[in-house]
Amino acid sequence: MHLCSTLLGRRAWTALLACLALLASPLNAPAAPATDLASLEAIPDAAQIVVHLRGIKGVANRAMAFLEKALPEQAGLAKTFVDNFLEEGIGGRKLAGLNADGPVFILFPEVPKPDADKPKFLLLLSVSNFNAFRDGIFLAGEKKSIKSEGKVNSIELETGEKLFFAEHKGFFAASQSDALLGKYLGAWDSIASKIGKGQGARLLGNDISFFVNLDRLSKDYAEAIKLAKQGAKEGLKDLLEQAPKEQKKQLSVLTTLIDPAFQFIEDSKGIVGGIDFLPEGIVLSLDDDLRAGSKSADSVSSIKPTAAKAIDKLPAGQMMYMGTASASTLLKFAGPFLKAMVADVPGAAKGVDALMGLNFGDSASAADIPLAGIEIRNTTDGAKHVEATLEGLESSISLGGGLNSSPVKGKPKVTKADKTAGGISFTRVEVELDLEKAFAGQEGLPDEMKKAMTDWFKKIMGGKINMWIGHDANRMIQITAPDWEKAETILKEAEGGKGLAAQAAYKAARGNLPDDASGLFLIDPVRYGNLIVGLLKDVAGGAIPVPPGLGKGKSNPSYIGMSASLHSGRIGADLVITSDSVRELFNAYAKPFLP
């Protein structure tokens, strides 16, 4: 592979990206020194897309730190390869004279078109010694062709293609276009005046990241965006016409989201996406800055940055966790869409209205399979929350809304003051499921598969769902369990003070998600994977080969975590794949097949 020749042509360009990805491999690791925003001064404001690498050598080393923690037994081979590459290079090309954590930028003056063989771009590499880098990266035969004209040098690569390069402000600047390089060497305003400090820090702080200048994009591609919006509407219309009757209502709600989604694009200043490697995990992030005073910014202006704390107290050992901060504010924001989804179930819509009228802080829930879990809402209106929840359940089920999209038999059975625990009186709600009906209407499925799916869901959910709903002075608590003994155990675990916050696996995931995330979701990937394997075994009936023993092994708790942040002026999303989860997934699904 030839590093510089990848600057030319789609095939070579793909090779360069692959090469950089190989260097950064698992992408993010131990935190580097504090981000220096001065690097933004090296980026012209004319750049429509910026791709950033936080130092080739630095990223490679941080990637290895992650791999060594996630898969210590397998990391040795990768480390040997990476160390050899950093020291010896590849194909006669060496990476000498680079700053270990110095930024690498790839700048695009316009969005590359899908059919473009050679999109225009500018490559900037932070160098400590320009001459050393030049002499190491180019082959001996290529260096003989170097010609200089002022500040600009040209070289003919062994592929026969020309590359133009120059030294500028501590960077090795290169492009396949002498005109583009010439503009860079001239006078221009930097992107530092266009991108906010927060986004600038996120762009430079990630090991691999990108910035899309939506201010420019929305202006330069206004007609294309308009056509894309129209295409989305027409495509969804066609989908609705072909969708089964029972799915049309849910899909129709998507039509109400198209205009707001494109409005967000119009109101956005820029998007930053990134991948960061830490010993504890890989963190992927997406961040959108909204223009002050825009419709989109106003729509989230009431949502304030608040930490979701209730999730910390949930009992350990569950498969899935969810937590929200400023829950009532988020519900009011999402309420119209929720009501649209249940518009044909008046009772459910009434329940949404009732909850939207209440004030409550952060809330959290945990769920496990076979079906069991707990939800806690922090509120001073616990009694009203119980009343609204019961009303929503009774009315929606009675009117045919079902529960969790599962048909039910008859009305729910409600028993007031059924049990008492911890000084809380719990109302019991029993719902009998009609799983046979749930799958009977699935067209195209053979009867054997319908029966297999019915039996499988009975196994994981039971034929009946039991919920106990109660409140104290500051909370509403809802517990789902097969019986009261299990429900009381879940409650005691939640009240016992040894919840998720004390678990190392949870700390690794939560600690690498934003403190002020509006919503959090965590899942144990091995336990969830085992659930899917069980479904394939029981339902596919041998049609899909599943190795014996797969999905039955025990694993230590580990989590993949996701978060969404909705704040005034900013929308963000983050995903963390912890080194614990990678190790547990490897042990469960790869190690059994190794020699």
For 205-232, how does the pLDDT look when each residue is reduced to its tens digit (9 = 90+)?
A: 999 999 998 877 777 778 888 888 888 8
For the segment 126-155, the average pLDDT, to the nearest whole number, is: 94
> Within its chain, how far is the Cα of 107 from the centroid?
25
Closest CA to 306 of 514, 57, 579: 514
How much is the pLDDT for 139? 93
How much is the pLDDT for 65? 94
Higher pLDDT, 426 or 570: 426
Q: Are 50 and 106 in contact (CB under 8 A)?
A: yes
With a CB cutoff of 8 Å and minimum separation 6, the contacts of 476 are: 360, 376, 377, 379, 382, 385, 386, 389, 469, 470
For the ranges 98-107, 280-289, 302-311, 533-542, the maximum mean pLDDT occurs at 280-289
Q: Is 88 exposed, middle or buried (0-12, 13-18, 19+ CB in 10 A)?
A: exposed
Residue 382 pLDDT > 60:
yes
Identify the band that residue 401 occupies on the pLDDT scale cut at 50, 70 and 90: very low
Residue 419 pLDDT > 60:
yes
Q: Is 153 exposed, middle or buried (0-12, 13-18, 19+ CB in 10 A)?
A: middle
Kindly report the number of other CB atoms within 10 A of residue 460's CB atom: 13
What does the mean pLDDT of the chain come to?
A: 81
Spell out the SS3 assignment of 307-370. Answer: CCCHHHHCCCCCCEEEEECCHHHHHHHHHHHHHHHCCCCHHHHHHHHHHHCCCEEEEEEEEECC
For the segment 1-12, the average pLDDT, to the nearest whole number, is: 30
Q: What percent of the chain has pLDDT over 90?
A: 36
Residue 400 pLDDT > 60:
no
- Dump strand ranges (E) for 157-306: 162-168, 171-175, 208-212, 268-278, 281-290
With a CB cutoff of 8 Å and minimum separation 6, the contacts of 164 are: 152, 153, 154, 155, 174, 175, 176, 177, 178, 181
Beta bridge partners of 287: 272, 572
Alpha carbon distance 539, 120 (integer Å):
52
Identify the band that residue 536 occupies on the pLDDT scale cut at 50, 70 and 90: confident
Alpha carbon distance 582, 27 (integer Å):
14
Q: Are 22 and 67 in contact (CB under 8 A)?
A: no
Closest CA to 364 of 315, 302, 429: 315
How much is the pLDDT for 260? 81
Residue 341 pLDDT > 70:
no
3 state SS of 199: helix
For the segment 308-335, the average pLDDT, to the nearest whole number, is: 82
Residue 293 pLDDT > 90:
no
| Per-residue pLDDT tens over the stretch 70-102 | 999 988 888 888 888 888 878 889 889 988 788
Cis amide linkage into residue 260, ω under 30° from 0: no
3 state SS of 388: helix
State pTM to two decimals.
0.84
Higher pLDDT, 4 or 145: 145
Residue 440 pLDDT > 90:
no
Higher pLDDT, 504 or 307: 504
Which residue carries 């290895």 as its tokens?
A: 64
Residue 17 pLDDT > 60:
no
Identify the band that residue 562 occupies on the pLDDT scale cut at 50, 70 and 90: very high
Q: Are 285 and 267 in contact (CB under 8 A)?
A: no
Residue 273 pLDDT > 60:
yes
Instruction: Tokens for 10, please give them.
Output: 């789609």
| Per-residue pLDDT tens over the stretch 481-497 | 999 999 999 999 888 87
Kindly report the number of other CB atoms within 10 A of residue 592's CB atom: 12
Higher pLDDT, 322 or 257: 322
Identify the band that residue 24 occupies on the pLDDT scale cut at 50, 70 and 90: very low
- Dump strand ranges (E) for 188-280: 208-212, 268-278
Higher pLDDT, 35 or 4: 35
In the chain, what is the greatest distance between 2 CA atoms, to the nearest angstrom? 89
For the segment 160-187, the average pLDDT, to the nearest whole number, is: 93
Residue 261 pLDDT > 90:
no
Ramachandran category for residue 196: left, alpha or beta (phi over 0 → left; psi -120 to 50 → alpha): beta
Q: Are 302 and 333 in contact (CB under 8 A)?
A: yes
Closest CA to 359 of 386, 332, 319: 332
For the segment 295-300, the average pLDDT, to the nearest whole number, is: 78
With a CB cutoff of 8 Å and minimum separation 6, the contacts of 478 are: 374, 375, 389, 467, 468, 469
Q: Which of these ranges, 95-99, 123-127, 456-460, 558-562, has the smallest mean pLDDT?
A: 456-460
Q: Which of these ranges, 99-108, 405-414, 477-486, 564-573, has the smallest mean pLDDT?
A: 405-414
3 state SS of 153: strand
Identify the band that residue 394 occupies on the pLDDT scale cut at 50, 70 and 90: low
Q: What percent of the chain has pLDDT over 70?
A: 83
For the segment 413-417, the average pLDDT, to the nearest whole number, is: 91
How much is the pLDDT for 39? 87
Alpha carbon distance 404, 413 (integer Å):
17
Identify the band that residue 348 occupies on the pLDDT scale cut at 50, 70 and 90: low
For the segment 419-425, the average pLDDT, to the nearest whole number, is: 93
With a CB cutoff of 8 Å and minimum separation 6, the contacts of 90 are: 1, 3, 19
Residue 108 pLDDT > 80:
yes
With a CB cutoff of 8 Å and minimum separation 6, the contacts of 1 are: 15, 19, 90, 91
Q: Is 84 exposed, middle or buried (0-12, 13-18, 19+ CB in 10 A)?
A: exposed
Higher pLDDT, 169 or 251: 169
How much is the pLDDT for 466? 92
For the segment 421-446, the average pLDDT, to the nearest whole number, is: 81
3 state SS of 460: helix
Ramachandran category for residue 169: left, alpha or beta (phi over 0 → left; psi -120 to 50 → alpha): left
With a CB cutoff of 8 Å and minimum separation 6, the contacts of 13 are: 6, 7, 118, 119
Alpha carbon distance 229, 263 (integer Å):
10
How much is the pLDDT for 445? 72
Alpha carbon distance 171, 365 (integer Å):
50
Residues found in the chain: 595
Identify the band that residue 8 occupies on the pLDDT scale cut at 50, 70 and 90: very low
How much is the pLDDT for 11? 32
